[in-house]
Structures are given as C-alpha cells and as structure tokens.
Structure 1
Amino acid sequence: MDRLDAMRVFTRIVERRSFTVAAQDLGVPRSTVTDAVKQLEARLGIRLLQRTTRVVSPTLDGEAYYQRCLNILSDIEDAEGAFAGAKPKGQLRVDVHGTLARHFILPNLRAFLANYPEIEIYMSEGDRLVDLIREGIDCVVRVGTPQDSDMIARKVAMLDEVTFAAPSYIEAYGMPTHPDGLDGHRMIGFRSSATGRVLPLEFTINGQVREYILPATVSVNAAESYVSLAKLGMGLIQIPRYHANADLETGQLVEVLKDFPPTSTPVSVLYPRDRQLSPRVRVFIEWVAAVFNQKS
C-alpha cells in the first residue's frame, strides 16, 4: 500500500474510531487496515493511535498527523479535479431526511450518477443530529434552522408550510376560521429530534408569527407517522405543501386556516467547518441546490 492510500486508511480509522468499521467503509480486509497503520507508525517513528477494547483514538501526534493528512488528500483531489475532463470519483456518504430524499433526491439521482459515474453514494436516512466526522458522513441534508455551529450550512430551499386536517377531523371538530378560535381543537404533536419537545403550531396574524400549543393525544418524531395520524382524523398538523400534494388530490387531507400560514422552513446542506470540501461533495451540494431550485 502506498503512502497516500495509507493516509486514507488512517484518516478513516480516526473518523470511525474503529479498525473494523474503517475496513468495512473502504472495502478492504481488516488486516490490510492494521498493516497500513503499523507501516505508518514504523515510518514516522511515532505512535499514531491509542487502542482499547472498545474504541480507537488518536494520540496527540496522531491528531496532528490526521489534520496534515486531511489537507494533503484534499489538495490532491483538487489538483486532479482541476484538469479538463477530470470528474470527481470515490465514495460519497450522505444523510438525508427520508421524505426529502424520496420526493426530491431519489427521483433525480439517476441523472447525477450518469454525469458522475465514478461516484458511489451511500445514503442513510434520518433527521437526528449527526456527528459527521465520527460517523464518516460527508454531508447531511436537513429541514429547519441549523443549530450546530461546528457545521457550515448552505441553504438550498425554503419550503412553504401549510396547516392540514382530515375531512373526518373537520366533521368532528368543525372548520376553524381563525387561530384564536382553536379552543376545543386538537393537534398531533411532533417532537423535535434536537430538543425532544413538541413543536408548537405557527400562524402568521397581521404580519406577526404566533405560536399555539393544542392538546395532543399522540406525539411522534417521524414525518410519515405524523401525516398518517392526520389522515386518520387525530388532529391538525403543519407540514411542507409538497408532502401533502398527493393527499390533497385524493381528498384525504384538506387545507385549513390558509389565510394564516406558518413560516416557511429552510432546507440546508451541512458539512464540517474545519474540513475542505472534496470535489465529489462539492458537486453533490451544487446538484442538490439545483434540484430544490427546480422543484420546491
């Protein structure tokens, strides 16, 4: 294994805190990963990693070497990508909110891969907080206002939010005409993955955004369950319009309080602040921004 490949192995071990997981990520035997680190440590004459039965972590020298490796590998990728006709390649690991993935990203993914055939994508789904470095993720696509100051966030879209209910709910509780007349109504609680708290309903009244908490028999933390409960008549919900288009057409959901819309919700791509973007991450972010610009 040459020095550059050994550097790639070493950086993956540091990020994943595991020889075994790093080997799985890179598609090589664990013994290859172990030998690469031994050769690096022998060549440098220092100990790079501290090994315990549960976790692998860099020594002080290992942390310094890790940062230098990141810069070197990034510079090499940029240098190779600067030549005419050269296209990004390699594995790209992204984490995307599942509903966004199915509506915006997956339908357009074939075109992206046709343009960049040497990029291999691993896509996980979620809306939880992700430790990108530790989990080996290159970037995440998230809904809502980013809170993590360690990440750079590029806003790629603003999604119109709408209040919905099922016809059966309207039949049972009546059609509300003003947010101040919601006494006796119910909502389905949606718990934030960041705080664990139920998010309030938002309504814009005379240019001012006001929040309302209604009784909620059920609260969830997954978008699909949130919408499914609404279609069963369990309460009011607020979701991006795109998510409800099909249910509006079939009559399973109806829009309520349309004169008092919630605030729009940003969609952002987040990536580590202290890491230079690789060409494959850069082209993916540009592509995601273009997709949302066309469809949102």
Structure 2
Amino acid sequence: MDQLAAMRAFVRVVETGNFTRAAEALDTPKPTITKLVQSLEGHVRTKLLNRTTRRVTVTPDGAAYYERVVRLIADIDELDASMTMSQASLQGRLRVDVGTAAASLIILPALPDFHARYPEIQIDLGVSDRPADLIAEGVDCVVRAGTITDQSLVARRIAEIHMMNCAAPSYLARHGEPRHPLDLEKDHHVIGFMHLRTGRVETYDFASNGEQHEIRARYVVAVNEGNAFMAAALAGLGIAQVPVFMAYPYLLDGRLKPVLTEWATGVYPLHVVYPPNRHLSNKLRVFVDWIADLFARDGLLKKRGAPEG
C-alpha cells in the first residue's frame, strides 16, 4: 500500500462526502480510491468510514485520524515545496472559479500577461455567479465579492466593489427618472438579481444623510448571472443597481444613464479565497499574487461613480 496516497484518498473522501467526487477530484478511478481507503483501514486496524448506499460518514476514530492526517499532509507538501522552490518549474493545472463580470471584463483580458510569465500553468476557469464549494468541487481558489461567511476558508482581500444605480435611456423615456428610492416601489421597475440556490431576489439598498431604505421593488425580469443582468438593463427592462466597473463602459457611450446619484448604494469587499488545508502550491501562490496585483491596479475597479461631464 502507498500509505501517503491512501491518506490523501481518505482525506478527499471525507471532504467531498463520497467516493465518486473524491475520485473526480483526484483524477483517479473510483475502485482505486475504494481500495486505498480499505487498505488504510486495514493498516490502522480500525474502521474510519461508515458506508451506506446513500452516503459516507466518518466514524469517531476516522474523525480523529482525519484531523491528524490533514496536518501531516500539509506539512509534507510544505516540506516538498521548500526543498524544490528554487528549481521547481511552475506548471500544471489550476482550477479557479470567478464571477462572470470579473472574468469577462478584468481577468480574461489580462490573462495573456499571466501566460507570458508562467507559460506552463493551465487555468481551468469556472465562470458563474453561483457560490462554488471549494472542497467538494476540487477548486483551488475563487474570486468573490461580499462577506466571507465560512470562517474555515482563507480569504485575501484584493479590492472593493462600488455600486451605483443606472438605467437605459429607453427606460427613462417611458417612465421618467426616479427622484427618491421610494419611487422604485411606486412607478418603476428594477432588474432583479436572483440567488441560484435559494431563488431569493436581492433588495435594493440606499443611504443618504442618515436616511436608509431597503427597497423590494417590482421587476419585469430577475436573473441569476451578471452579464444577463447588464443585458436586461441595456434592454430598458428596469433600473439596475450594479457594480460601477460593470456599468462604466456603457455610461461612457450613453447606453446607460446614472440615476439617484445622491444616494449611496454600498461597497463590497472582493476576496480571493482558498481552502486552509490545501497546500498553497507554487503555481497557486503566483496566481493569487498575480490576481491580487491585477485587481489592485485595475482602472475600472478604481471608478467610484459615473463619468464626469
């Protein structure tokens, strides 16, 4: 038995919840994963996992073993990296998950620079606005806006997302311009943003001089993806509360107009996030540093509101 391989297989089964996802994450046949875990149980002479047709759970001995093994594997990986840092070739695949707007407007246009620096690193870029399960899906890191609620993850703050309100001229021609956030509950429609998992539609939040409003306005359409959200706004389907960096190009060419500019609409932190028990490999380390620098100096992200003039 390759004990280290068996330990890695066991850890991934625990983290993903079943043998099938563990096999996919390790790019190893499922029978091999099963055999490795069985051999490990034989080696330590105790049952580590309870298996049923529906799920895999960890035994008390297995939970204790998992906690020790995770630290051991991290130490081994760190030792290997420290010994090979100087001569290691930065190569291999990275699985990265990002939001649609950040991917299309910021990351993909700059990716030739990363490739020129690290030509042997392949990026498997998952592009969606759904929250990714880093452990279960075997994702190396994600770039996400908002508060990180899972305190077990490592989150590096790399930028801020400033919000604003805007609408297409065609919409304003039909409905007029709102003068107060409460107008959105009476004579206007908004573009709804819907959470993928819950189906809940976000409220529109406003603040000015101590006055705050959480608006649940009517909408013609609610979507669950950033590019579709912008397309709905450009089509004149309603007022949109949107990140400035997404709206800015359309504000410049007149396809969107700012509204309710005297009302603050929030600032959200942007993080690059990765699991704490996954060794920060050389390739992941250089990508995290590159993405942090990219977002810190990106011109669109530095915009705080509509263009002047």
- TM-superposed deviation, 1:288: 2.2
Tell me the residue number matched to 1:45: 45
Tell me the residue number matched to 1:257: 260
Deviations 1:255-274 (A, max 9, x none): 2233334222221233446x
After superposition, the Cα gap between the structure-2 partners of 1:13 and 1:179, relative to the gap in structure 1 and judged at 3 Å, is closer
After superposition, the Cα gap between the structure-2 partners of 1:87 and 1:204, relative to the gap in structure 1 and judged at 3 Å, is farther
State the distance in 2 between where 1:81 and 1:106 align: 29
State the distance in 2 between where 1:248 and 1:197 align: 28
Q: How do residues 53-202 of structure 1 correspond to structure 2 at under 5 angstroms?
A: 53-82=53-82, 83-86=85-88, 92-112=94-114, 115-116=117-118, 121-179=123-181, 183-192=186-195, 196-202=199-205
Deviations 1:172-212 (A, max 9, x none): 11234554665523222223457654333333423655443
Which residue of 261, 274, 278 maps to 2:280?
A: 278
After superposition, the Cα gap between the structure-2 partners of 1:179 and 1:185, relative to the gap in structure 1 and judged at 3 Å, is same
- TM-superposed deviation, 1:87: 5.8
Tell me the residue number matched to 2:307: none
Question: Could you state the TM-score of these two structures normalised by the residue count of structure 2?
Answer: 0.81
Matched, 1:206 2:203: no
Structure 1 regions of 5+ residues with no counterpart?
none
Q: Secondary structure at the match of 1:219?
A: strand
Q: Secondary structure at the match of 1:227?
A: helix
Deviations 1:16-53 (A, max 9, x none): 22223322222222222222122212221112222211
State the distance in 2 between where 1:287 and 1:198 align: 34
Tell me the residue number matched to 1:244: 247
Query: Relative to structure 2, which stretch is displaced further, 105-114 or 213-222?
Result: 105-114
Query: Relative to structure 2, which stretch is displaced further, 172-181 or 73-82?
Result: 172-181
Query: Relative to structure 2, which stretch is displaced further, 54-63 or 71-80?
Result: 54-63
RMSD: 2.9
- TM-superposed deviation, 1:91: 5.1
Query: Relative to structure 2, which stretch is displaced further, 40-49 or 207-216?
Result: 207-216
Matched-pair contact (CA < 8 Å) for 2:97–2:126:
yes
Matched-pair contact (CA < 8 Å) for 1:166–1:230:
yes
Matched-pair contact (CA < 8 Å) for 1:187–1:235:
yes
- Percent of residue pairs bearing the same amino acid type: 41
Deviations 1:40-82 (A, max 9, x none): 1222111222221122222222222222221111112211222
Which letter does structure 1 place at the counterpart of 2:57? S
Which letter does structure 1 place at the counterpart of 2:58? P
Query: Relative to structure 2, which stretch is displaced further, 186-195 or 27-36?
Result: 186-195
After superposition, the Cα gap between the structure-2 partners of 1:136 and 1:245, relative to the gap in structure 1 and judged at 3 Å, is same
Matched-pair contact (CA < 8 Å) for 1:163–1:236:
yes
Which residue of 282, 293, 296 maps to 1:293?
A: 296
State the distance in 1 between where 2:225 and 2:86 align: 44
Which letter does structure 2 place at the counterpart of 1:75? D
Question: Could you state the TM-score of these two structures normalised by the residue count of structure 1?
Answer: 0.84
- TM-superposed deviation, 1:293: 0.4
Which residue of 226, 230, 244 maps to 2:229?
A: 226
